[in-house]
Amino acid sequence: MIHLLQHAVFAAAARYPRREAFVCGTERMTYAELSRKVRQLAQTLRAQGVEPGDRVGIYLNRCVETAVAIYGILHAGGVYVPLNPKAPATQNAYVIEDCGIDVLVSHPSQKRSLKALMGAGSRVQKIIGGAKTDGRVRVTGWETVFADTPEGIAPGRRVETDLAYIIYTSGSTGKPKGIMHSHASGLAFARNAAARYDLSFEDRFGNHAPIYFDISQLAYFAAPLVGGTAVIATDAETIFPASLGRLMERERITVWYSVPLALVQLLNSGTADTLVLDKVRYLFYAGEALAPKYARQLFPLFPGAQFGNWYGPAETNVCTCYDLPGPPEGEAPIPIGDVWQNTDRLIVGADDEKVSPGETGELLIRTTTQMLGYWNLPGRSAKAWFVRRVAGDLEQRFYRTGDLVREEENGCLHFLGRADHQVKIRGYRVELSAVERLLLASPAVREACALALSGGKDGALQLTALVILQAPGIMTEKELLAYLRDELPWYAVPETILFRGHFPRTATDKIDRSKLKSELVA
């Protein structure tokens, strides 16, 4: 019975020992090798004092060791906390302090930023795979870990609802929050995906996201569950789209899941039509909307693929999906579909009452893939839930997504934007995402971002749009504004349009709106 995440790896190793489990760059690891290394790492962690329930940080770039780290920590009974080596040292030090991490799993390639992290005064005492130069910290090399003969570990009495991992949000407002997930919620996601799309040991999962982003969990959790192969793009492959495309072709990827940005970069790389990508049978994306015009350009590149728009905040993982029937016509945004199996939903107004059919409301989700809560933030956690009394003291908890949706007659949901991306301009409600969508619909525009900033008379909120053009100068601000005036109510037309070469992005590849805002205000 698979009830803890690591059981999937051991089951796959028993059934398909010689099949490839994880591939990254030139490294290829079979299930037998993965199983062995997981047991070796777990043994090392235990020997170093890691006890069930302890939080262990993973401080790695994209590499096969991420799989060993995740499952090794889980097998030792620990809770893994993926850290971003490219984040500021102070941010990582905060996370380490917040959830009490004493041990990191890392690699000598990260020695430069590890040094900065230790310099920021973190409490870490032991590093597996650290470099020798880490002064006061006890370092155990990977060679030592893998030289050990794995003996059995006392499994302990772990239950599937136990904490398994904590994903920290990048937190656009205030400090990052640790989203707590259990073995049950991670496995539920893998099972939902595997069942709905009939995934099997023959599937080869293409992964683009880093492990601190839950988009990586299809490859990291579902691949072992079905005994398939997870192909992890290297950092370099995520930066050079031509190389990413060749990876997808060379590794005969059958299931791809990433942010839309990776696919759009592939389109813009100028190499996509030389690739043969007919083995891809599922192309899933999540995290941001994919503009209909880009979806239309992607369809011919993936002639064998079913496209799926997946939606879900990190607090619930994926909860709705929309299987695109074909290339979208027109510019209407692609819907987010409906909840998939084992998931319930409500659409409520400001008073938490159900809205009338077809009215806009906030989406509330109840599902087996939802978080346990926010680490060490009981007040914040309590606010995240809408609690519905069923009978007596039997309650149902729905997560408040903070996203606005509208339901069609057939139950299909349309995403209308974050509740907090609605702004009031001169007393009128404006959806920033609607302005962005319209800009994106223009063939001259590659990317667009709409922001509301105080600037007018009396510091009133004004709209500013930032645009990346397909080629410099192909459209002027005046021309774009004229185009917008044809389509938008007068109060929703931006005061100015600024042209940029690129947008700053967050660690999860979303447009970094707060950074853009602070650049403009300065």
Partner 1 sequence: MMQQTIVDYIKNEIHGGDPELEIEPEDDLLGSGLLGSMEMMRLVEHLETTYDFRVAPQDMAIENFMTVAAMAAYVERVKA
Q: What is the β-pairing status of strands 138-140 and 126-128?
A: parallel
Residue 109 sits in the site that holds partner 1 (CB under 8 A): yes
Residue 240 sits in the site that holds partner 1 (CB under 8 A): yes
Cα dihedral across residues 309, 271, 503, 89: positive or negative: positive
Task: Work out how close the CB of 320 gets to partner 1 at its nearest, in angstroms, rounded to a whole number.
Answer: 30
Residue 85 sits in the site that holds partner 1 (CB under 8 A): yes
* 222 DSSP assignment: I
Which residue is listed with tokens 């962005």?
A: 436
Among 6, 30, 35, 61, the residue binding partner 1 under the rule CB under 8 A is: 61
Across the strands, what pairs with 421?
none
Site size for partner 1, by CB under 8 A?
25
Query: Under a CB-based contact definition with an 8 Å cutoff, are residues 17 and 31 in contact?
Result: yes
Residue 175 sits in the site that holds partner 1 (CB under 8 A): no
How far apart are the C-alpha atoms of 401 and 393, rounded to whole Å? 24
Q: Interface with partner 1 by CB under 8 A: which range of 105-113, 367-375, 396-404, 439-447?
A: 105-113
> In the numeric block, which tokens belong to residue 7?
């059981």
Query: Under a CB-based contact definition with an 8 Å cutoff, are residues 101 and 123 in contact?
Result: yes
Among 236, 382, 474, 482, the residue binding partner 1 under the rule CB under 8 A is: 236
Residue 297 sits in the site that holds partner 1 (CB under 8 A): no
Residue 506 sits in the site that holds partner 1 (CB under 8 A): no
Among 48, 125, 172, 243, the residue binding partner 1 under the rule CB under 8 A is: 243
**HEC sequence for 449-488:** EEEEEECCHHHCEEEEEEEEECCCCCCCHHHHHHHHHHHC
Cα dihedral across residues 317, 321, 326, 329: positive or negative: negative
Query: Under a CB-based contact definition with an 8 Å cutoff, are residues 177 and 63 in contact?
Result: no
Residue 235 sits in the site that holds partner 1 (CB under 8 A): yes
Task: Work out how close the CB of 438 gets to partner 1 at its nearest, in angstroms, rounded to a whole number.
Answer: 28
- Interface characters, 248-287, with partner 1 (x: CB under 8 A): ---------------------xxx--x-------------
> In the numeric block, which tokens belong to residue 453?
């900033």
Torsion angle in degrees (nearest 10) through CA of 155, 160, 164, 167: 170
Among 3, 112, 123, 354, the residue binding partner 1 under the rule CB under 8 A is: 112
Task: Work out how close the CB of 236 gets to partner 1 at its nearest, in angstroms, rounded to a whole number.
Answer: 4
- Count CB atoms within 10 A of the CB of residue 238: 21
Q: Interface with partner 1 by CB under 8 A: which range of 109-117, 168-176, 315-323, 433-441?
A: 109-117
Task: Work out how close the CB of 155 gets to partner 1 at its nearest, in angstroms, rounded to a whole number.
Answer: 35
| Footprint of partner 1 (CB under 8 A) | 61-63, 85-86, 109-110, 112-113, 234-243, 246, 269-271, 274, 502
